Structure 1
Amino acid sequence: MNEMLPLLTYCVLMSSTPGPNNMMMVACGAHHGYRRTLPAILGINAGGAVQTFATCMGLGALFTAWPALHVALKLAGTLYLLVLAWRLVGSPVAQDRPPEQVSFAQAAMFQAVNPKSWVKAVTIASVFMPVQLGVVQGALLVSLVGAVVGFPCISMWALFGVGIGRVLSSPVRRRVFNAIMAASLAVLALMLMR
């Protein structure tokens, strides 16, 4: 347990702090409610677990060997966040037409271009892999811990969005909320390119 505590703490911090996944979940929770956002939450956790497992199995070494790959993923993640921001600004605000929901598959695949997810996966692989277990068992363990810890943390952001959604009763309020969330995603995207 003493060896697991630092991993648990790291996973809580990485999953609870603002980032691309959490900003998406606030917007999804506000517009669609928790139940309809649940597939995206599960997709983030599944995609992150696969990413962490693959990184622990050696994928992270590719970034060291080919730094251009890291730059390309960073650029793709930035562009994706800007597209999300653009779609959020242009989304309809009428009561009967909420913005498109993020699916399980979209959320899972987004982890491949989410720089924060890569930082988390590479850090877990390089710092928290248990040396007393075999590579596969250790990779499975830390991937599972990341997913289990991530679920309530990411759910917290979606529920925060649900709470915000309750005050978005008028089209003007929804439009302002969409603009704030889009600006947050755009700022986050630009920060990722530093």
Structure 2
Amino acid sequence: MSLLSFLTYCVIATFTPGPTNIAILSIAHRVRIKEAFRYMFGATAAFGMLLAVSALFNQVMVAALPKIIVVMQIIGSLYMLYLAYQVSTMKLSGDADTQAATFKSGYMMQFVNPKIWLFTMTVIPGYVMPYYHSAAALSLFVVVITVIGFMAFMTWALFGMVFKQFLQRHQKATNIVLALLLVYSAIEVSGLLR
């Protein structure tokens, strides 16, 4: 397992702007940090739950159809290339729509966030399952990825204004670097270099 590629994918997928991160940025600007943290705890709880369900689902699929892992690696690679394209062409929106800064709204946001669905369904089979199969190992990776996600949410809440200004000033260069890192991750997951 390429730990560098795994961490690169996790950090890029969780730290780049997406619906949840932009909502947290907006909430952190409009309300007190206490409310932003309630929202983040809800988003983190749902993120961890979706990762756990993904790990369980993919483990069942691999047991039933052993060759499915190759298909999931290909799907994961294609998704990462798509994400690289999206990152390379994205524009940082102004402010996200104002949302209630509650645990429930943060939790529910993850279920309508396609970025989270695609990430949770590709990270476990693409990076973890080719090398680790035990429930303990999968659980550990779910916890590690959830912590990375929470750190991304905290970053957007605490330093959101700094990142927003930086991304607006250096948007093109930042997007290109992030897109190239995602292409690297896609190549690693595809198994083409093995």
- The answer for the alignment partner of 1:72 in structure 2 is 71
Q: What is the CA–CA distance in structure 2 between the aligned matches of 1:109 and 1:153, rounded to whole Å? A: 16
Q: CA deviation at 1:21?
A: 3.5
Work out whether residues 45 and 108 of structure 1, in 8 Å CA contact, stay in contact via their aligned partners in 2. Answer: no
Counterpart code for 1:53: L
- The answer for the alignment partner of 1:134 in structure 2 is none
- The answer for the alignment partner of 1:104 in structure 2 is 110
Q: What is the CA–CA distance in structure 2 between the aligned matches of 1:55 and 1:73, rounded to whole Å? A: 9
Matched, 1:26 2:15: yes
Work out whether residues 52 and 122 of structure 1, in 8 Å CA contact, stay in contact via their aligned partners in 2. Answer: no
What is the TM-score of this pair, normalised by structure 1? 0.59
Q: What is the CA–CA distance in structure 2 between the aligned matches of 1:45 and 1:124, rounded to whole Å? A: 19
Q: What is the CA–CA distance in structure 2 between the aligned matches of 1:164 and 1:180, rounded to whole Å? A: 20
Aligned residues: 156
> What percentage of residue pairs aligned between the two structures are identical?
15
Work out whether residues 78 and 190 of structure 1, in 8 Å CA contact, stay in contact via their aligned partners in 2. Answer: yes
Alpha carbons of structure 1 residues 49 and 23: separation in structure 2 relative to 1, 3 Å: same
Q: What is the CA–CA distance in structure 1 between the aligned matches of 2:150 and 2:54, rounded to whole Å? A: 20
Alignment map for 1:1-194 (pairs within 5 Å): 18-28=7-17, 32=22, 33=24, 35=36, 41-55=44-58, 58-64=60-66, 67=67, 69-93=68-92, 95=94, 104-105=110-111, 106=114, 107-112=116-121, 114=122, 116-118=123-125, 119-120=127-128, 125-126=133-134, 128=136, 147=142, 150-160=145-155, 163=159, 166-169=162-165, 171-193=168-190, 194=192
- Please list the CA deviations of residues 100-149 of structure 1 after superposition, one character each: whole Å capped at 9, or x if unmatched: xxx5232134322x1x41253576643638xxxxxxxxxxxx75x76556
Counterpart code for 2:136: F
Counterpart code for 1:49: A
- Please list the CA deviations of residues 85-104 of structure 1 after superposition, one character each: whole Å capped at 9, or x if unmatched: 1112111246468xxxxx52
Q: What is the CA–CA distance in structure 2 between the aligned matches of 1:89 and 1:37, rounded to whole Å? A: 26
> Unaligned regions of 5+ residues in structure 1, if any?
1-13, 98-102, 130-141
Work out whether residues 43 and 108 of structure 1, in 8 Å CA contact, stay in contact via their aligned partners in 2. Answer: no
Counterpart code for 1:104: Q
Work out whether residues 41 and 151 of structure 1, in 8 Å CA contact, stay in contact via their aligned partners in 2. Answer: yes
Alpha carbons of structure 1 residues 27 and 49: separation in structure 2 relative to 1, 3 Å: same
Q: What is the CA–CA distance in structure 2 between the aligned matches of 1:60 and 1:104, rounded to whole Å? A: 26
Give the superposed CA RMSD.
Answer: 3.8
What is the TM-score of this pair, normalised by structure 2? 0.59
Q: CA deviation at 1:189?
A: 1.0
Work out whether residues 10 and 148 of structure 2, in 8 Å CA contact, stay in contact via their aligned partners in 1. Answer: no
Q: What is the CA–CA distance in structure 2 between the aligned matches of 1:75 and 1:45, rounded to whole Å? A: 24
